[in-house]
Chains A and B, each alone.
Chain A
Amino acid sequence: MTDAAVGAGALGRRGIVSLAGEALRRPPQEERPVTVLLGPRGSGASETHSALMELYGPTYPFAYLRFAPGQALLPRYALGLLARQLERRLPQYRRMSFPLLTLGLLASDEDLSMTSLEEGRRSIQQRLRDFQQQAESRHGDYLAAFFEVAGGAIGAPEGASTAALALLKDALRHGRRRLPGGNRFGQAAHWYGAHQLTRAQDRWEALTELNSWRHQGHEEDRERLDRILFSAFLEDLRRGAAPSFSPRSFLLLLDQADTRYGRRFLDLLLHARHDTVMANRPCDPLTVVASCNRWLPRWGPASGEQWPWQLRVPDGASLEDWRAHRPPRDSEDTWWYPVRLRDLQPEEVHTLVERQLHTHPGLSPFTRLTPFIHRLTGGLPKGVSQVLQALQHAAGERTPGPAQERWLRTLPDRTVLVGEVQRTLADAALDSLLEGFDDRERDRLAECAAAPDLYVGTQVLGYGEALFTQLRIRRLIDGPGAFTPSLHPWLRRLLLWKLAARPSDWEAAHDLLAEHAREAGRTTDRMYHLLATGRLEEVTDHLLSRFDTLPATSWISELEKVTAAPNRLASVGGPLELLATLAPPEPGGAVTGRSVVRGLVAARWLWSDPLADPGMRLGHVLADGFIQLSRLGRSDNVALLNESERYLHWRPSQTTTDGS
């Protein structure tokens, strides 16, 4: 399967799409993972849901649920909504029904107010029918009643295509009209009587027990009710998948499952599944794909050190990979399959831009800017989309050249439409990435972003570990295994843009960090922060002195590290104009070692900032600089010539650390 086959939402998620397809095609009783798409907000989880819906919706029953942060979606409502969607009639299968779940929901719906189980047993049958009839008369069918309460949780995944929306609408519209009545009502009641969680053996008494758990019981009883409802839901699915002409699997798409009720749902689902499998019964036929923007508390510390899983990358996701790496089956962790939603690669950004052209032909002049967009956003899908949205507002700056470069220099301050509100690109993007952070926290975070190592930033600036942990939970920091815990490049660039608007805070933060580096003996880090505050001459002197003592490759590495520093240079002028301001030619055109190094530092500093040099036009200047440097009489000047060559024919590389 190709990305093109599943739409823009699946760009870079091919492994996830094929994993879901693989799981859907397996026999009903085969064990399947609960795939968790883990990534920061804007990493494309919703688009992936949409792509899965679009691709598998026509051929498999599916249900989509979004656990929005502000919405108290109780498990019973979530189950009602899911069942309603899974009942959708697909022509290739017999119709699915949820008699156990529906009966459990009915039995626990309204308070039966009965004084004893015996009394309840006598009257519950009639009462259940009454409830059902009332619900059906109000809403057409019983499960449809759940839309009244929890319909907001259906929505549609962000960025859903028209096809996906149509499928979702269809799933919601075509529920089952009536409950299976008659004998099946009684048969379903038997299941509750025989369930280990109910104390009463009699089927009607067991249903009465369900009612009392909800309306008269304690928290523990309500927990038990949720567990038995999940158990009923999975049993319905097992029974529904067993006969001929039934689907092998059902696709469950859970968006924003990291919220309180999402986590609760996942806990109950895993618990019910695990209990069943541990009791040597066949596994349910659910193919679950959940998306989380946060590390789940049940997985232990966000560093991931105590969790048996290592995050997988989407490109390698498969059932075989899951089976090979899943933790032992005695723990519920065995069902997880966490997949890190990686950022888009340059060519994927290019593809995304090209696909946007179908709906936004005005973007065509900017297709040449995809390397710039990728450098700017780090490939975060939402960031790419927002930048493209901002670019649509470019008026006379559509032609490559100095005018366009000057326009792009202040791109974060360009406006985009969020809903019906005009916001700057920086604000809109930060609102999305840092949802839940207040302004104070954002300001502090902007100061911390001055440090390439966020942990150092939070420590030096005195904001404690809490802020750092929060960001790590939200997957906005590179996960375990990364050498330096650094912010996502798009977030850091936006934060630094905001910090640049606060000159004193900018200076103070970098000064503190420079001082900390000096005390720690990390001269390179100190130079990084000095350069950020514009002290080009000091940095030039340092690097000039190091040129005589370090091997060429080490010197180049140090140059790169120092010149990756952020800047708060004037927002007017293109890269060449900025360079001329920072490193004017020596009087009389004399070429000295110092002038060459100063020129290289200035050029590399500007070049590493995509906003300062969107078209990487300073690559030629850097190439010249390294050639001039090689003429200064060193013996290992081959490395310098190679570096010159590299800038002359620069190609973006996945491994590059530029712009960070």
Chain B
Amino acid sequence: MRRIEWPLHLVIRTVVGVVAAGVLAVAGVVAWNWWQESRATCHEDVVRRGPHDECVGVTAGDHVFATHLEDVQKLIAKENARVEAESDEHPYVSVAYLTSFTLTDDDSNSEDSVRHELMGAYLAQHRHNRGDLPGSPKMRLLVANSGSDSAQWEYTVDRLLERRDGPDRLVAVAGLGPSTERNLAALKKLSENDVATVASIMTATNIKGIDGFVRVAPTNVDEAKAGAKYLKEKEFKTVAVVQDDASSNLYAATLAQAFREEYPDSEHRLVGESISYDSSVSSAWEGELRYIPGRLCEAEPDAVYFAGRGRHLAHFLNALANRTRCTERDFTVLTGDDTTNLTPQQLVDAARTGVRVYYTGLAHEDMYKKTPYAVSKLSAGHFRDEEGLMETWFKDEARYDGQDIMGHDAVITAAQGIAMASAWQGQGKVTGPSVARMFHQMSGSEQVPGASGFLSFKKNGDPRDKAVPILRLTTKGDSVLIDVTSATGEVAREN
């Protein structure tokens, strides 16, 4: 064997140097990763991700995703801490409220709407844990942010799934955001992993038949049908449908399709075919909306059915108000529930256009006053201005959009599922699948006393005969309840 004759001390120095360099390099990488991670970590299970550097993930309330959520998240954190502290005496399971809490221009929801949802969710937690709808086991409410446009849904869902076992015992996820492909993917992944899901404002008709999934909002079809019925009842003979062609906008597609199927009959007809814009072409949709009033002038409809998102509606109304043709004509626009996602300012701006705007909402606090048989008195009472808990807790909050009611109804549905599962299997055996199974047992005396209406569910997860409020935008930008109807015309009532 050949002798190595390099000077040993130089070899040792070199080896030590190389090893030291290696160690330093590894340490550097580790340190860099640690720094990156620490920089990326907003809180336990909440990390900074995506192009907007937003904090996404799951928290029991210790991390506040956005400043506007601070008050409600503090309340949730406090309640969660209490539940944990009493866990020896009162076991608990967890329910997460998942949606996009960090919003950008890419989102159709507004900060107000998601905050109101979370407020309602907290009310439901409170009612279940120590309120007027007590149940066992107790509920920890986790707040899960899927990021703007739910771009980080996968990370957040993975963190949620990690919490199925162990002390968290996550059994259900509520909320789930609007009807988008990403939210649908999140929903499916949760379902595939035995987590019960309750959508609050997801209305797209084609989201159905998913295991363990129910929703508390009427579907787009139901909304469209209810809207069509209302227009017919008010004797609007011709209607032009303006539709968003964006393929990812399931909400718009189903709304338009359902309206087209429901409205035309011997006395009523659709005019002005194929009036559409494409919101996925960001450089064009605003321009497209500017041309639509001209076409509507030509079609001369009695009403316009706008099948698109609320923020597009605002632009559409603006374009309509500033039309140069048929200025003598008054336009009546009916649209879907996404109008509730407009901010008060946007609503005021929309109202100032002078166009009469009706929309099928998801819920409204006056529903009990208008149709007391259609909603739970007990639940609705918490949303009343004067004596409700919501007013007590969130005194300065203008809860104009009914999203708080939808958030509440979604979580109260999950809470009832938990209580029902526990009643038969014991507190320790409440699981995602067992809660999901209970959704199908919620009929008759077990229907959910929702503040947006009594809730029982079809096999595909849709609410049965769900009350659909018809709202009108006043000139001040407020929403006034005009009527409560449903897709079938028969609203679910208390048994």
Interface residues of A in 230-253 (CB under 8 A from B): 242-246, 248
**Measured CA separation A245–B10 after assembly (Å):** 11
A243: chain B residues at CB < 8 Å are: 3
Contact status B8-A93, CB under 8 Å: yes
**Measured CA separation A92–B7 after assembly (Å):** 4
A59 to chain B, nearest CB (A): 9
B233 lies within 8 A of chain A by Cβ: no
Contact status A94-B3, CB under 8 Å: no
B5: chain A residues at CB < 8 Å are: 244-245, 248
Residue of B nearest to A59 (CB): B7
A24 to chain B, nearest CB (A): 13
Most buried by B among A93, A242, A245, A248: A245
Residue of B nearest to A94 (CB): B8
Contact status B4-A92, CB under 8 Å: no
B7: chain A residues at CB < 8 Å are: 91-93
**Measured CA separation A243–B1 after assembly (Å):** 9
Interface residues of B in 1-36 (CB under 8 A from A): 3-11
**Measured CA separation A643–B35 after assembly (Å):** 96
B10: chain A residues at CB < 8 Å are: 92
B11: chain A residues at CB < 8 Å are: 245
**Measured CA separation A93–B6 after assembly (Å):** 9
Residue of A nearest to B1 (CB): A244
What is the interface size of chain B, counting residues whose CB is below 8 A from a CB of the partner?
Answer: 9
A246: chain B residues at CB < 8 Å are: 3
Contact status B3-A91, CB under 8 Å: no
A469 to chain B, nearest CB (A): 49
Residue of B nearest to A91 (CB): B9
Residue of A nearest to B8 (CB): A245
B6: chain A residues at CB < 8 Å are: 245
Contact status B8-A92, CB under 8 Å: yes
B8: chain A residues at CB < 8 Å are: 91-94, 245
**Measured CA separation A248–B5 after assembly (Å):** 8
**Measured CA separation A244–B3 after assembly (Å):** 4
Interface residues of A in 58-96 (CB under 8 A from B): 91-94
A102 to chain B, nearest CB (A): 23
**Measured CA separation A243–B9 after assembly (Å):** 15
Contact status A242-B9, CB under 8 Å: no
Residue of A nearest to B2 (CB): A244
B4: chain A residues at CB < 8 Å are: 244-245
**Measured CA separation A28–B3 after assembly (Å):** 10
A87 to chain B, nearest CB (A): 15
B74 to chain A, nearest CB (A): 66
B383 to chain A, nearest CB (A): 85
**Measured CA separation A94–B3 after assembly (Å):** 13
B3: chain A residues at CB < 8 Å are: 28, 242-244, 246
**Measured CA separation A92–B6 after assembly (Å):** 8
A271 to chain B, nearest CB (A): 28
**Measured CA separation A91–B9 after assembly (Å):** 5
**Measured CA separation A243–B8 after assembly (Å):** 12
B10 to chain A, nearest CB (A): 7
**Measured CA separation A248–B10 after assembly (Å):** 17
A93: chain B residues at CB < 8 Å are: 7-8
**Measured CA separation A100–B8 after assembly (Å):** 24
**Measured CA separation A245–B5 after assembly (Å):** 5
A578 to chain B, nearest CB (A): 64
Interface residues of A in 422-456 (CB under 8 A from B): none
**Measured CA separation A28–B5 after assembly (Å):** 11
**Measured CA separation A92–B10 after assembly (Å):** 7
A92: chain B residues at CB < 8 Å are: 7-10
A91: chain B residues at CB < 8 Å are: 7-9
A244: chain B residues at CB < 8 Å are: 3-5
Residue of B nearest to A95 (CB): B8
Most buried by A among B4, B5, B10: B5
**Measured CA separation A246–B7 after assembly (Å):** 9
B13 to chain A, nearest CB (A): 9
**Measured CA separation A246–B11 after assembly (Å):** 13
B9: chain A residues at CB < 8 Å are: 91-92
A521 to chain B, nearest CB (A): 69
A361 to chain B, nearest CB (A): 40
Interface residues of A in 618-658 (CB under 8 A from B): none
A245 to chain B, nearest CB (A): 4
A336 to chain B, nearest CB (A): 29
**Measured CA separation A246–B4 after assembly (Å):** 8
A89 to chain B, nearest CB (A): 10
**Measured CA separation A242–B3 after assembly (Å):** 7
A245: chain B residues at CB < 8 Å are: 4-6, 8, 11
A162 to chain B, nearest CB (A): 24
B16 to chain A, nearest CB (A): 13
**Measured CA separation A573–B40 after assembly (Å):** 104
A247 to chain B, nearest CB (A): 9
B5 to chain A, nearest CB (A): 7
**Measured CA separation A244–B11 after assembly (Å):** 11
The 0/1 profile, CB within 8 Å of B marked 1, for residues 535-560 of chain A is: 00000000000000000000000000
B274 to chain A, nearest CB (A): 86
The 0/1 profile, CB within 8 Å of B marked 1, for residues 239-270 of chain A is: 00011111010000000000000000000000
Interface residues of A in 92-119 (CB under 8 A from B): 92-94
**Measured CA separation A28–B9 after assembly (Å):** 20
The 0/1 profile, CB within 8 Å of A marked 1, for residues 248-271 of chain B is: 000000000000000000000000
**Measured CA separation A598–B332 after assembly (Å):** 157
**Measured CA separation A243–B4 after assembly (Å):** 8
A531 to chain B, nearest CB (A): 66
A238 to chain B, nearest CB (A): 13
The 0/1 profile, CB within 8 Å of B marked 1, for residues 3-29 of chain A is: 000000000000000000000000010
**Measured CA separation A246–B6 after assembly (Å):** 9
**Measured CA separation A246–B10 after assembly (Å):** 13
**Measured CA separation A249–B7 after assembly (Å):** 14
The 0/1 profile, CB within 8 Å of B marked 1, for residues 200-244 of chain A is: 000000000000000000000000000000000000000000111
A94: chain B residues at CB < 8 Å are: 8
Residue of A nearest to B12 (CB): A91
Most buried by A among B3, B4, B10: B3
**Measured CA separation A311–B279 after assembly (Å):** 108
A248: chain B residues at CB < 8 Å are: 5
Residue of A nearest to B7 (CB): A92
Question: Apart from A245-B4, A245-B6, A245-B8, what 14 extra A-B contacts exist at CB < 8 Å?
Answer: A28-B3, A91-B7, A91-B8, A91-B9, A92-B7, A92-B8, A94-B8, A242-B3, A244-B3, A244-B4, A244-B5, A245-B5, A245-B11, A248-B5
A sample of 9 inter-chain contacts (CB < 8 A) reads A92-B8, A93-B8, A242-B3, A244-B4, A245-B5, A245-B6, A245-B11, A246-B3, A248-B5
- Name B residues whose Cβ lies closer than 8 Å to a Cβ of A: 3-11
- Name A residues whose Cβ lies closer than 8 Å to a Cβ of B: 28, 91-94, 242-246, 248
Q: Nearest 3 pairs between A and B by C-beta?
A: A92-B7, A91-B9, A244-B4
